[in-house]
């Protein structure tokens, strides 16, 4: 099919001067080529370029413009290279059906090719017969008219921020407390810097406890598949522990303790769309143990290790 489209484009090339273009999918692995139906993608891209008036040739043939697709962690990198210019864009995977993905790739490659389009060389000017010499100064000959430079629009950069809000549990031995967590992550490629703030606590007949935490995390995002990602991370911060006793006869009914803390954390992310994802979070926190005792009985206790679990939704602006 690609050979047939190339032959059809050569017919247009023979009828009128056209810019030759090649599209190369060879940088993709055989698994990615089959997964994204590379034969059908080549056919759609070639047909779109022929409709735009370009002459499509095979990647082995000389071409004025060369298009190339390669795999990245973010998705698929599209590159268009001309004699003097080069432009690239990123297509993120997992946002729709395969037909929609092919349409988006063909559209982007068409836009990039038009931006880099080089005009075919004009035919040599005809030499006019010399005019009879007359008295007076010789007329001035007009030089070639300069062409305006072609502007190439660079690919828009997507936001690298991720906001997430979720609910979970704080496991402190046999007892479990609810946990609210808010985080913001700034991506640096596969790496990321993240700030987390959480609030948990318990309320009983004799004692009310609240624990607020804040920390900074360093994480690394691994792509297990197009939608599934793993994100291990480590962080450090503080935990603010406040308590309120209900007994009126106690002299110190309330108090606050601040403890440094460290966390080892793992997130499992599933991307629904380019911007929306669901996350499962598991973390182990190490901090100063706390115990509240009244009349020989333990009202509330937490050891030096605290296990945190939760689920959240992540959104990229």
Give the Cα separation of 120 and 84 in Å (integer): 15
- CA gap 299, 291 in Å, rounded: 8
**Given this model, what pLDDT does residue 214 score?**
96
Q: What pLDDT does 4 receive? A: 47
174 exposed, middle or buried (CB, 10 Å; 0-12, 13-18, 19+)? Answer: exposed
Average pLDDT over residues 289-307: 87
Cβ burial, residue 142 (10 Å; 0-12/13-18/19+): exposed
Local structure of 222: helix, strand or coil? strand
- What angle do helix axes 38-51 and 98-116 make, rounded to 10 degrees? 40
Give the pLDDT score at 235. Answer: 97
Reply yes or no on whether the pLDDT at 107 is more than 70.
Answer: yes
> 289: closest CA among 265, 271, 306?
306
**Residue 152 above 50 pLDDT?**
no
Averaged confidence pLDDT in the chain: 81
DSSP output for 170-239: EEETTEEEEEEEEEEEEEETTEEEEEEEEEEEEE-SSEEEEEEEEEEEEEE-EESSSSEEEEEEEEEEEE
Give me the mean pLDDT over the 33-40 stretch.
Answer: 85
Q: What pLDDT score does 144 carry?
A: 53
Cα 153 from Cα 155, distance rounded (Å): 7
Q: Say whether pLDDT at 83 is over 50.
A: yes
Confidence band of 37 (pLDDT split at 50, 70, 90):
confident
Q: What are phi and psi of 49, to 5 degrees?
A: -70, -35
Per-residue pLDDT at 246: 81
Between 122 and 35, residue with greater pLDDT: 35
User: Which of 20, 26, 89 lies closest to 50 in space, CA to CA?
Assistant: 20
Residue with tokens 């590159």: 79
Element (H, E) at 201: strand 191-203
Query: Which range, 7-16, 17-26, 173-182, 211-220, has the best average confidence (pLDDT)?
Result: 211-220
Main-chain dihedrals φ then ψ at residue 312, nearest 5 degrees: -150, 165
In this predicted structure, the answer to whether residue 134 has a pLDDT above a threshold of 60 is no
Query: Where is pLDDT greater, at 35 or 179?
Result: 179
Q: What is the pLDDT of residue 158?
A: 44
- Is 256 a residue whose pLDDT tops 80? yes
- 249 versus 50: the higher-pLDDT residue is 50
pLDDT over 70, % of the chain? 79
More reliable by pLDDT, 248 or 20: 20
Q: β-pairing, 207-220 with 305-315?
A: unpaired
Most confident of 22-31, 111-120, 121-130, 278-287: 278-287
User: How far, in Å, CA of 265 to CA of 253, rounded?
Assistant: 35
Mean pLDDT of 84-107: 82
Name the band, by pLDDT with cuts 50, 70 and 90, for residue 32. confident
């Amino acid at each position: 099919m690609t050979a047939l489209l190339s032959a059809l484009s050569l017919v247009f090339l023979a009828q009128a001067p056209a810019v030759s273009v090649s599209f190369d999918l060879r940088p993709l692995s055989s698994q990615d080529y089959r997964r994204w139906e590379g034969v059908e993608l080549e056919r759609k891209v070639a047909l779109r370029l022929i409709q735009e008036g370009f002459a499509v040739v095979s990647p082995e043939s000389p071409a004025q413009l060369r298009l190339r697709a390669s795999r990245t962690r973010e998705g698929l990198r599209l590159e268009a290279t001309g004699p003097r210019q080069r432009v690239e864009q990123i297509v993120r995977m997992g946002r729709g059906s395969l037909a929609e993905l092919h349409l988006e790739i063909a559209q982007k490659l068409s836009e990039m090719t038009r931006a880099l389009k080089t005009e075919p060389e004009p035919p040599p000017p005809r030499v006019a017969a010399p005019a009879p010499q007359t008295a007076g100064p010789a007329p001035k000959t007009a030089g070639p008219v300069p062409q305006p430079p072609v502007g190439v629009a660079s690919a828009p950069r997507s936001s690298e921020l991720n906001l997430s809000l979720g609910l979970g549990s704080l496991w402190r031995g046999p007892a479990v407390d609810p946990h609210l967590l808010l985080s913001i992550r700034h991506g640096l490629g596969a790496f990321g810097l993240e700030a987390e703030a959480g609030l948990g606590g318990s309320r009983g007949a004799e004692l009310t406890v609240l624990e607020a935490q804040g920390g900074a995390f360093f994480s690394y995002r691994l792509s297990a598949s197009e939608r599934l990602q793993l994100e291990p991370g480590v962080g450090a911060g503080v935990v603010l522990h406040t308590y309120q006793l209900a007994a009126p006869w106690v002299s110190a009914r309330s108090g606050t303790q601040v403890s440094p803390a460290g966390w080892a954390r793992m997130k499992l992310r599933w991307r629904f769309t380019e911007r929306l994802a669901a996350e499962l979070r598991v973390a182990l926190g190490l901090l100063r143990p706390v115990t509240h005792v009244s009349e020989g009985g333990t009202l509330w206790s937490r050891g030096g290790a605290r296990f945190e679990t939760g689920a959240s939704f992540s959104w990229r602006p």
